[in-house]
Amino acid sequence: MKFFIDTANLDEIKQAADWGILDGVTTNPTLVARENVAFKERIIEICDVVAPGPVSAEVVSVEAEEMIEEARELRSWAENIAVKIPLIPDGIKATRALSEEGIACNVTLCFSANQALLAAKAGAAYISPFVGRLDDVGADGMSVVEDIVQIYDNYAFDTEIIVASIRHPIHVLQAALLGAHIATVPFDSLEKLFKHPLTDIGLKGFLADWEKLQKQLADA
Ligand code: E4P
């Protein structure tokens, strides 16, 4: 499974890249706004850090022709940009046109398996089901991912599933068990994947015993 990081924060992206486990980045207008930086400059900086891994940058138009123009502009900034397109009829139309031009589209704001089917039919490179937001309204986000995995498998679609709106490490585990291609993980959840109290206790014990041995050998 590939790990993307769901942030526009450069320090977080650099840290994840430094760990050697980062395959790509997803951003959205909210994540960029949180950083209070110029959109174009930040996306180019991110693209430099993670190249050749894909970096999703989202259009803000809602009409197909405008989305297509915006997507072409975004794609001109760096080779590894995937254009994020909202899952609305004009978005699906734009995805079809952009995919035929060879521009990778990440269809976002997906909340049902039927929506994911539309994105795959339109030639999307990625589909982003938002599991956390589904869970927030009392639905089962992961069951939507399970259905998408099944449907894409039934018809051998090439569209990769990005499990998005991840809230905690269990979402990452469930995504991996279901065979989703990618999890896009916020930095705090990514950090939590490392943690286990028995790892800390075990390491402390090993280091203490090693020190004890050195002391015994020095005293002998
Ligand atoms: C996906 O690409 C989105 O940027 C993101 O996962 C949305 O997550 P949220 O529901 O925490 O805003």
Domain ranges of the chain: 2-195
| Structure tokens that stand for 122 in this block | 């339109």
* Residue 59 contacts residue 70 (beta carbons within 8 Å): yes
| Structure tokens that stand for 205 in this block | 């014990």
Confidence of residue 42 (pLDDT cuts 50, 70, 90): very high
Catalytic residue among 2, 40, 84, 204: 84
- Residue minimizing CA distance to atom 7 of ligand 1: 165
Q: Considering the domain 2-195 in this protein, what is its CATH number?
A: 3.20.20.70
| Structure tokens that stand for 162 in this block | 């990005």
User: Can you tell me the distance from the alpha carbon of 93 to that of 52, in angstroms, rounded to the nearest whole number?
Assistant: 27
* Percent residues over pLDDT 90 in the chain: 100
pLDDT for res 44: 97
User: Which residues have C-beta atoms less than 6 Å from ligand 1?
Assistant: 6, 26, 28, 108, 128, 130, 132-133, 164-165, 184
Task: Name which of 154, 146, 166, 151 is nearest 4 in CA terms.
Answer: 166
* Residue 51 contacts residue 81 (beta carbons within 8 Å): no
Model pTM score: 0.95
40 is catalytic: no
Which residues make beta-bridge pairs with 83? 57, 105
Give just the sign of the alpha carbon dihedral 180, 184, 188, 190: positive
Mind listing the pLDDT tens digit for each residue in 201-211?
Answer: 999 999 999 99
In 5-140, which ranges are continuous DSSP H helix? Answer: 10-18, 29-35, 39-50, 64-77, 89-100, 113-121, 131-136
- Residue minimizing CA distance to atom 12 of ligand 1: 165
pLDDT for res 173: 98
Q: State yes or no: cis peptide before 129, omega within 30 of 0.
A: no
